[in-house]
Amino acid sequence: MSTFLQNLNSLNPGKDQIALFWLGQAGFVIKTSSGELIGIDPYLSDYVQRTIPEVGLGFKRLMPAPCRAEELRLDYLLISHEHGDHYDQDSIGDLMRSKNLKILTTPTVVKAMEEEGRDTSQVYALYPGDTKAFEGFSVLGVDCDHGELSKDALGFILDFGFTSVYYSGDTALNMDRLKGAVERQPDVAILPINGAFGNLDGEQAARLAGALRSRYCVPCHFWTFPLHLGNPQQIIDSLPKYAEDCELCLFQQGEGMLFPPKSL
């Protein structure tokens, strides 16, 4: 069993807590106090390099996947947009073997899944402003700005009642488009910091964390591919300037943390 799976099995959130784990790239797993698992954009294969060979080493995976897709038994799966490091088509078949898996994603991804002949009976398309409620939490689709690269890309706000988690998805610092998230002032903000392909860099992520008034910021979307770039030192240096009350939670791949921390 991988170290990540051992961590996932052993870190058990108490009442009014969740555990958040980073899978690398922009992928996360949230574990609830009841033991349910919510996946967000897991990238667990070499799909991107395999399907874009003309880029050569630019999309070579630098960090191995923390587990195999067939080892991850999710109850819910959120997919923010159709790009291969978010909608991993080499992993989705194994992920969908989970019994009663519910998937929330964009209309573009739903269409792609239908064209691939996948069972979409429990796949739900979200638009900005749409909310889907489940037992113990709800998911709100919020707008983001991934430009022409993905016109209907989404962010998500997961509301557990006692805490809320904002996953921005791939986005530029377009405050008009990010207004829906900013207005809700989520407790935890998961933000890209790679500064490539239209995404926030570390300083911009710090500025957004300040606008969100989040208590915790978890950076992602860096150090998986050479072409994706990313400098964590930028957000380490910038967060005290733009969001002095926000704690930076810089994860190793496969690492998890309880929110809110037990000490609070």
Sign of the torsion angle spanned by Cα atoms 147, 247, 182, 158:
positive
Q: Does 264 fall in a domain? A: no
The identity of residue 31, as a single letter, is K
CATH number at residue 225: 3.60.15.10
- pTM (two decimals): 0.97
Q: Mean pLDDT across the stretch 65-81? A: 97
Residue 143, classed as helix, strand or coil, is strand
How high is the pLDDT of residue 99? 87
Q: Does 17 fall in a domain? A: yes
Q: Does 261 fall in a domain? A: no
How high is the pLDDT of residue 159? 98
Q: Mean pLDDT across the stretch 176-197? A: 97
How high is the pLDDT of residue 2? 84
How high is the pLDDT of residue 74? 98
What percentage of the chain reaches a pLDDT higher than 70?
A: 99
Q: Does 164 fall in a domain? A: yes
Instruction: Give the model's confidence band at 145: pLDDT under 50 very low, under 70 low, under 90 confident, else very high.
Output: very high
Burial code of 28-37, b = ≥16 C-beta within 10 A, e = fewer?
Answer: bbbbbbeeeb
Instruction: Give the model's confidence band at 264: pLDDT under 50 very low, under 70 low, under 90 confident, else very high.
Output: very low
Q: How many domains does the chain have?
A: 1
Q: What is the pLDDT of residues 16-35, one digit of tens each?
A: 999 999 999 999 999 999 99
Range(s) of the domain holding residue 62: 3-256
Q: Does 162 fall in a domain? A: yes
Q: Is the pLDDT of residue 263 over 60?
A: no
Q: What stretch of H or E contains 94?
A: helix 92-95
What's the rounded Cα separation, in Å, for the pair 4 and 189? 22
Ramachandran class of 183: left when φ > 0, alpha when ψ lies in -120 to 50, beta otherwise = alpha
